[in-house]
Amino acid sequence: MASRCRIVVGIPTRGRAPILRETLTELARQTRLADEIIICGAEAIDSEGIAEAFPAVTVLTSAPGASTQRNAIIKAAAEADILIFFDDDFLADSAYLAAIESHMTSNPRLMVATGLVLADGIGGPGLSPAEGRAILAAAGTVTDGTKPTFSGYGCNMAVRMAPMREHAIRFDDRLPLYSWQEDVDLSRRLAVFGDVAKLEAARGVHLGVKRGRGSGVKLGYSQVANPLYLVSKRAGYPMFRALEHIARNMAKNLARAGWPEPYVDRRGRLRGNLLALRDLAAGRMTPERVLEL
């Protein structure tokens, strides 16, 4: 039987306190409760009402940006064996933490584990908490399979803390704001020490809530700048993946620019893509340039 370890759940958040409360409510229903839950916003309004409704939750603030806020959580989780990052709109199945603990304690080579996303609202208008809970309730029999995967998915991603402490591995603070691809970068740096896997028993629903997300122009810039920057680090992010990623996103933005979805700023994203290519040609493209747009 796998031994018990210290599991901390970390949730970076920005501008979505009502949704965050729904996520914390689901975490209270875990069959294996977290030893600590840490949330990190950028200002007080990001965690409005959380301390009163969930007094055991640790509330932090840091400079804004997904990487920066995740790193603040890592610093605060100094005693954790496993740190599980959830987006503030990820509803975890009640057995999620138990599945992570079982696999990561029984397999010491497992560095990063990501769960099975039963539904992902990020590709559409988003899901309501009620819809997310209905999907979880109707999910049926749990299987316990695992399969290798290239990276964790930042909305639900467990990392083993020992190698992160030993090698001072953190999310890259040079990826500002939405920090596009920061989950892939961290996964590939940890993959040097072991395995990255998807666990079918760790299930959940990513609501994909649109409130609180940044500008389309900035995201579009990051869709080009961040993958190319990560390639330049030579830390496990391959060029073929960057080029495929950029081409896929630019093609989608271009194809939908004339008839955009009401919940996606396709024209803004395409403009950001083109600005990044212009800066690339001029030799001045960096992830941080989004802060000037």
The tens digit of pLDDT for each residue in 123-149 reads: 889 999 999 999 999 998 888 999 999
Sign of the torsion formed by the C-alpha atoms of 128, 46, 212 and 179: negative
Q: Which helix (H) or strand (E) holds 111?
A: strand 110-120
Dist. CA 240–CA 260, nearest whole Å = 28
pLDDT at 213: 63
Q: What share of the chain is helix, strand, coil (3-state, %, to 5)?
A: 45, 20, 35
Q: Which domains does the chain carry?
A: 7-206 (3.90.550.10), 216-287 (no CATH)
DSSP string, 54-72: -TTSEEEE-SSSHHHHHHH
Alpha carbons 147 and 259: distance in angstroms, whole number:
38
pLDDT per position as a tens digit, 16-63: 999 999 999 999 999 999 999 999 999 999 999 999 999 999 999 999
User: Whole-model pTM?
Assistant: 0.94
The token pair that represents 69 in the structure block: 């806020």
The type of residue at 165 is R
3-class SS of residue 119? strand
239: tokens are 């060029």
Q: Beta strands 156-160 and 82-86: pairing type?
A: antiparallel
pLDDT of 215: 82
- Burial status of residue 222 (CB atoms within 10 A of its CB: 0-12, 13-18, 19 or more): buried
Q: Are 47 and 122 in contact (CB under 8 A)?
A: no
Q: What is the pLDDT of residue 232?
A: 96
* pLDDT at 3 (0 to 100): 59
Q: Which residues of the chain have pLDDT under 70?
A: 1-3, 212-214
> Dmax of the chain from CA atoms?
58
pLDDT of residue 268: 96
CA–CA separation, 52 and 55 (whole Å): 6
**Token pair recorded at residue 63:** 């400079």
Residue 46 backbone class (left: φ over 0; alpha: ψ -120 to 50; beta: rest): alpha
Four-point Cα dihedral 202, 177, 55, 22, nearest 10: -50
Token pair for 149: 């995967």
Q: Tell me what pLDDT residue 1 has.
A: 42
